[in-house]
Structure 1
Amino acid sequence: MKISGRTFVVSGGASGLGRACVRDICALGGHAAILDMNEELGSALVQELGGSQAKFLPCDVTDTDSIAGAVAAAVAWASETGKPLGGVIPAAGVGFPGLVLDKQLRPVSLENVDLVLRINLRGTLDLVRQVLPHLGAVEPEGVDGERGVVVMVASAAAFEGQMGQVAYAASKGAVAAMTLPMARDLSRFGIRVVTIAPSMFESNMTAHMSDKVRVGLKKAMEFPARPGQPEEFASLVRQAIENVMLNGVVIRLDGATRMPSKL
């Protein structure tokens, strides 16, 4: 699928990996609907991109009605600009570490578990499911009759969750697990599904890591021995959009990093 002339819905699009995707989509002639709770960052990104190719839409992915309003606005914008929907990239995510049982024999906070699952899993699925009816109504293109693509974000934690990552690993493992069945469900509509599982990338989530944790993570890295850059993530998202043979697959983007049990 060509990115140029298409509109992509990106949650968490005002910062981190989502922002890098928005920038890349617009650089390639596409339009990006930026769904995020941070209006300041979102508006600044729209201004940076010139205002015509990007639109900020406030959205809380834990709230179904909020998602519905943002999706409706994105669809209306795509209609106004004549740039039909091309896909959805649910990149909003959080991680609250917590041992399932700490040294004082206290179980992990269910409130934190629920929040991680609501944003990373439910928020991802809810946004995707609300975009899909509109994506399925798009005129198919090319010899394959492709209508669009869903690019979800898992994590290396889906495969090697560390101590304190029970909720986060569960949420990202579920995203990885629903990739193939979702692709099978959507194949009749000409909609593909690809999931990317990055290791440690520079983002708002990793910006708060201590130096000790960063040093420990670096020891687990093979090559390159550094965190990934958001632009490198966006580059793979671009390939997921453009390469029609990528479907129903979870792609690790980790430089051969395999996370140890603890740092």
Structure 2
Amino acid sequence: MGFHLPLYFIFLLLFLFLLCPILQAAESQEPACGKEACGNITIPSPFGIHSTCYTEPWFRVTCNPTLNGVKPFINVNGIDLEVLGKALYSDAILINNPVTYINCDSINEVSGRVNLLGTPFFFSSKRNYFGSVGCGNLATILSNEAVSLGGCIQPRCDDGVSESGCFTQITANLTSYTVNMTAMYPDSKRWASAFIFSKYSFRSAYPLPTGINNGTTHVPAVLNWNSTYCGDGVDFTI
């Protein structure tokens, strides 16, 4: 027994000696924070996939399977927003923002709502436009206090324009908003859409997202966050 016990400890020490480099190598293979990847998207700091790379739950990124492979998402007030990558500005990322639709054949008015209240996130009026694609509709955007922050009227459906739509600047940063679209003419019988979108994501000659159809659900938008947010539920709209 006195012989086997020291031999046991010798084998244990040898095992630990061999295991240590393996664990160190595995740890070194973990991507550094700010360089994690999900699909073909690099996750910018302070967002992260691993718990060591994000300090607040708001910045947690999950890799979710989609029909087009795995993609990164953040969860904001129960809504999964796809991360498209780092924006060209500090404290900002590019996300896929939902599009609100109206079908003029069956309904004359529809509302869509995005709510960022109680989070550090907001849509910057300096980085985004409010736009609408379609014809013959009035598209407006309102704050959560029902204050109008902008709007535009699409050309009439019989004007013969090939890319019909309108866009306008947003007069304030947004943490919550409502989009309204109202048919303006009797011949307003085509689908229409309204959305907040990144002003730098599309060509200047026609700055609205092109190729939008009934299957388009999202457009790129810049999502900012307040780096001094303390979780007190304050609305950062200014």
TM above 0.5, yes or no, is: no
Larger Rg: 2
More strand by share: 2
The structure where helix makes up a greater share of residues is 1
Question: TM-score of the superposition, structure 2-length normalised?
Answer: 0.29
TM (normalized to structure 1)? 0.27
